[in-house]
Every structure is written in structure tokens, then in C-alpha cells.
A and B are shown apart, each in its own frame.
Chain A
Amino acid sequence: MPQLFTNKRLIILLGSIIVLVALIGFSLRDREHLSWPEQFINDVIGLGQAVVSKPAQGVAGFFDDIENLRHTYEENKKLKERIQQTAQLESEVERLKRDNEELRTVLGKRESLADYEPIQATVIARNPDRWYDVITIDQGEASGVQPNMAVITAEGLVGKVKTASKFTSTVQLLSAHDSRSRVSAVIQGDENIFGLIEGYDKQKKALSMTKIPYDAKVKEGMLVTTSGMGGVFPEGLVIGKVKEMTPDEFGLTQTALIEPAASFDGFEHVMVTKRGMTTVLPEEEEQGQVLVEGGDL
């Protein structure tokens, strides 16, 4: 039996365990800004990643297209039915929009929580070890991306920017397990019902929305959007639809299971939303207590 640990090896092993623990502790701190070596490495690797993932996505897209082609006929039939309703809806939306604008000018209130400026981005990488749902996109601070901004696809909200380097950023998806991540949301009905999106149930494939008042009457299929009250996300980004309601363990509030509108995998293009109105972030020292959107309320 050869001796596995000589003195030198043992010292190396122990030394690296200390370094490991220190590094993990360092990286788990709730930090929004990466140190410059990390940013630099992120940008360099991101460049290479963008080069290799573009053709890969082309290949993936090709397979998707074939898959889509098989369902074309049925989808076409359904869409035709939809189109007729859409035309009516569109004219109504147009009328309401005009109304809204006019009333706003009457009030002298120009800005709204719902205004945002979209920044187009492409997904260049997904965390390959798949323990934590993060993706990397090809836009960074250089194009105005900041930590905590909401990230959407055409279907709805998918996540928020976790960290931003100069030319790439990391996006944490709503499906990632993070006890500090909350999104202030609203269930749209006759009355707006506010709550918090926290957590994702992987088995049921549903987000859970907590802190809904016990007497709120929520029906299945009601639309859930961001409320804009968290301070960072704009108002009115679609999150999903109510699937199921359950009272919480003390009966003081209710919890809703929400079927997300956007799927968390298989998308390629996203938009980062830069809110038009001032964003509110808690002071550094407050962050322990105050939870802001994506660490936030």
C-alpha cells in the first residue's frame, strides 16, 4: 500500500482547504459588484463563449424548427381563430392608451412605473453544472445593464440581473433557489391584490406567491404581473397565471401557486428592462433587513 499522504501533500491539502473555505465565504457574501479581476475574466471568457455559442444556437434552432414544423397545421388553425379577437383587442388597447395619455397630461403626471427602456441581449451560456439556474448574456455595463434589473423574454419575466461586468452579465432565473430573492407582484382583478413572488417549485413547475391577504378573492387563471413597488422592476411585466390557492400555516395570509408565463429554458433572446423612473435601492448597511426586488421588496 503506497503512502497516500506524505507531509508535503498533507500541507498542500490543508492549505487549499483553508483557501477553499475562505473563497466560498467571500463569494457568498451578498455582493452586487464583482472585483475587477473577476470582471476581466468574465469579459474575456464571455467573448470566447459568444463565439462558440452562436453557431451552436444555430444548430439548436434548426432542430427546433423541425420540431415546430410538425405542429404547424394545428397551430395555424388556432392562431386564425385568435387573430379575429386580437384585432378588436388592439383597437381597444389603442383607444385606452390614448385615453391614458390624455388623462396623464391633464394631471401633469408624465412618468409612470411602467415605463422602461429595453436592452436587447442574447443568451450566450447556461450554467453547465445546473445546480443554480443562472444564464450569461452578451450585454453588460457598457450598454447600461445594472444589477437587479428585470430580465424578460417575449412571454414574460424570467429573472433579474445578478452581476454585471463590462460586456457580459449574469442573470439569475426565477427558478433558481434563493431565499433572498423576492419580486413584488400584483394579481390583477377588480381590485389589485399585492403579494411577493418567492421561490419556485421544481416538481410542480410553479412559482409561489406569498403574503396575499387572507380575505382576497383570487380565482384560478387571474393574471399576475410585477407591481413596480419593489423599487427596481418596472410595473406590468407579465409573470404568469394563478393556478392554485392555499392558506398559509397560520391562516393569516394566502399563498398562490403561479404558472409562469415564460419558460425558463430554451430561450435565446432576452430583454433587460431599464426602468424609466428612478430606482430605489436600499443603502448598503440596510441590506440585511430590507429585502429589495431580487434581494428586495
Chain B
Amino acid sequence: MKRLLLPLLVIVLFYSDSVIHLVFPESLFGDEQVAVSRLFLIGLLFMAAFLDRNTALKYSFLFGFFFDIFYTGILGAYMFFLPLIVYISSKLVKVLENHLFVFCFIVLFSVFLLELIMFQLNVLVERTEMTAAQFMTTRLGPTLLLNFVIYALLAVPLKNAFEKLPRI
């Protein structure tokens, strides 16, 4: 039974972003601003830091693939970049200190990195007309703020959850 808990938690995290988007109206930050929750990524980073890096890599690969198919339709984007970012952040955790306050910066940096990569990718495949300046002003700030709030609310529960779970 305990073996099922980790996949279940990942599934919940996987759905969480779209549910957050459904529940909170788009105009939360005003009409122009776009805030994107990245709870799924935050969860994976916690898994890498407090459970096991390789497990987190496997999950981010698999669920990144699902994310691509079900939500975005560009296959390969999240499948490739989620594990990459999890990997980079786990290296940073090793270099820096494994403390929740320091970890906050690593998480926000990872969110920034993911947003930046996805921005470049979407410009590349012509799915957006946003310029870099627009991206910085309308998207990056609100996104980092929202994810900071999510981190502040869920950091302790997530840490506790991953420290207690068995490694699969």
C-alpha cells in the first residue's frame, strides 16, 4: 500500500496546475499579467532534494511526457526539460545548503529557467508573438510571485511528505 503513495502524490501534483488555473480566474493579476503556477515542477524539485534524485528524474521524464501529450501538444518539450531542470537543481542543492530558505531560491531559479526555456521554445515554433521585453514584464514577475506564494504555503508539507515516503 505504501508503495502506491508516491505515484499518487505525483499524479495529484500533475493535475494541480490545471486545477489551479481552472479555479483562479485569469484576471487575478489584472488583465495583462499572466501568472503560471508550477506546482508540479516544485513537487519534483522537492522529490529530488528530499527523497531521491534518480526517482525524481524518472518521474519527471514520464509525467513530462504525459504533460506534453495531454496539455501542450508539443511532444518532447517537458519530457526533456523537466528532467534537465530537476538535474540542475539537484546539483545546486549539493553545492549549496539543504535548507528550506536556500532551497526557496533554487526553486524560484528553476521556475525562472523553465519559463525562459518554454518562452524560447514557443517563440521558435511560432506559437506566441510575445517579445522578450513583454515576457519579462507581463509574465515573469507574476509567475515568480505566484510560485513563491505556493512555495511558502506548501514547502513544509511537501518536505515532510517526501521525507517519510519510501523510495520506489
Contacts and interface: CB of A to CB of B under 8 A. Distances in A.
Interface of A: 4, 16-17, 19-24, 26-28, 38, 41-42, 45-46, 48-49, 52-53, 56-57, 59-60, 63, 123, 125-132, 134, 136, 162-163, 170, 176-179, 203, 205, 265-266
Contact of A45 (B36, B70, B122, B125): B70
Given A26-B75, A53-B19, A60-B23, A131 B127 contact: yes
B36 A19 contact: no
A56 B19 contact: yes
B36 A265 contact: no
8 contacts: A16-B80, A28-B125, A42-B70, A53-B18, A127-B18, A131-B128, A132-B72, A134-B72
**10 interchain residue pairs of minimum CB distance:** A23-B76, A128-B17, A27-B75, A23-B75, A265-B26, A128-B18, A20-B80, A20-B76, A45-B70, A131-B122
Contact of A125 (B18, B36, B79): B18
B11 A128 contact: no
A131 B118 contact: yes
A21, A129, A130, A265, most chain B CB atoms within 10 A: A129
Nearest to A62: B23
B66 interface: yes
Contact of A52 (B19, B27, B31): B19
B72 A131 contact: yes
B157 interface: no
A17 to B, nearest CB: 8
B70 A134 contact: no
A60 B126 contact: no
Interface of B: 11, 15, 17-27, 31-32, 34, 36-37, 66, 68-77, 79-80, 91, 118-119, 121-122, 125-129
A128 B75 contact: no
Nearest to B19: A56
Contacts of A42: 69-70
B76 A177 contact: no
Contacts of A17: 80
A22 B91 CA distance: 28
B25 A266 contact: yes
B118 A129 contact: yes
B69 A128 contact: no
A166 to B, nearest CB: 14
Contacts of B70: 41-42, 45-46, 49, 125, 136
B122 A41 contact: no
A128 B71 contact: yes
B36 A130 contact: yes
Contacts of B126: 177, 179
Nearest to A1: B95
Contact of A24 (B11, B15, B20, B75): B75
